[in-house]
Structure 1
């Protein structure tokens, strides 16, 4: 029996980890301890899952006491990003398996600390990069492994975040770099890890431009220069395009989202103590970027051209991977309930360098993140699928490289110069 403690009772903790452990994987796994800085979150967890009410609850300063008293095998880290480092290091200090949500940590220095701690521990770190498990992403990996496009030479990846999802980051703690590392880390580590994994190359250098174009005090759609507003009480919200697009005059329009409930953006203050998740997206305290254009150079010669924008009419991405023998293309439109126009079904197009185009219709499965979450959960709570012919579960090194690229992005955009990944990570070794 795998004994689990959970550090951070976020929505992600409840939906991605606690629910499957209690329902699908209870024969192999047992939750023995819960930790959060807010007792209200514990109450809500107990309301959602009455079986959790009898499980001991601890505050962050008592994490070692929790480990001593509950004797876990695994620590799941789903707290605010900047606190991940504390729980990961404590888990490794006690020789435990640590499963952490992305990003593993919020800066390259802490990523190096995790790598060093893991090297001295009998435990290990697993980073829950669920995007790897999406059926389309697995198929792309398989095509590359089959040699369909030869040696990868360049990747074009353009990621689009719509006005609903994008604005949500600027209402919450993510909008402060000290908590999230900025969106080039909190969000884009998903994307950088995907590319690193697809092409099996190590990022060496990054150069980027970044800007705060839509949100913050200078946002062009800000109804007024007032500061300190909240959506639930704001007298100007009907003049705010970001609010009006997803709300009527009395209530929020119900929208499904993996990260924040569409009917509770303005109402969920009751779910926290002393925290408001409906802060104004035009507040002066916002200190992160919402737009990036990035170039990354890899150790085997590939180049990545990446961009991300957090205020667009629809959500999804466009991808092209070029190699010495051909090219792979795909376009995804995400969250259908938020797209106000017809759009094509996602397929993968394969273009051999000399020959006919092939269109691949991928077999899909249900579940969050395009069907990636359930497959990842199986690997986490049943063990790695022995029939899969390639590695997919991410470790600390993968987390470190994705974070170093993300930190290099915002530092490069600030300093107008390239950053070498090894300088940010202080020469970690590459083993896989």
Structure 2
């Protein structure tokens, strides 16, 4: 089956006579698309900018495409559903050196795009609108989005990816067409907005923000956005795109805490604030070590797979691991720890036999059994993880899988 989404890796050349493409994704926006196009065309004419208005129609059934054509816009029909599909098709088909994209619901002012154009001409490759700086008019954004969703998700993005963007989900943004095509964006749905900012931040593109105003949309139907569903999709994307924050850092904390607690409790019971901590706490500390190590190994799997699949950029640590790590290294380390655990277990059985396989003092015996069992589990974990990393490191040729009809 052939997909009709344009190949961003081999885009058509931009029209040298077109400086700016104003791109509007559209799905049943008949009530507002005409006003948005009029404002954008008026802006281009008023500021004497050679440009075009491009509508990426994603299967409208309300006459939006016909209205756009009548208002002087170029209409691109994108059959693959999804916000990301519509925008990537529009970016690939744009004729302008710069693209300014914005929702076609009349919530953004397409007549006031000069700050975006100035920043783009100033050398910035991604210019984000910031609604919190420019103003959010009454009724334009639900309180849940304004005070929780957007600040939370933008904050997570800033921390995870060291991004300078304070409004990750502003629908009005401008960018260098070639720079964004070079990011090889993959998201087909609403996550596209986050992916653009995340990849631009990781790749070191020059990013800035300009204040923009958000007005109540002019739709005569409910919005496509679903607060909790789409909010979770954006958060999930940010987490999955950052294996360090999702797996590595929590794993390091959990493993270190478990290791220190185990070492502290191994000699004997401890009393803290009147609480007696004994072998039961030692058991949970050992479980923390096991879970922490598992989480750390997941971070390496995710990072290596992400780099090979192309949706995570290569990092110095990831490349070093891929270059230096060998299956044999993990197998040797895992087997050493496994043998240590087996030896401790055999010794414990020997002590039990010396007592006639009868009852033993739990406090002393469990201080031998818990570390031994933990070492066995960790040794097996490391061995299996080494094998899986070895599988992920197998060289493969690029190939395409063609599905049969």
Q: TM-score band, normalised by the shorter chain?
A: under 0.3
Relative to the length of structure 2, the TM-score reads 0.27
Query: Of Structure 1 and Structure 2, which has the larger fraction of its residues in helix?
Result: 2
- Please report the TM-score for the alignment, with normalisation by the length of structure 1: 0.26
Q: Which has the higher strand share?
A: 1
* Higher alpha-carbon Rg: 2
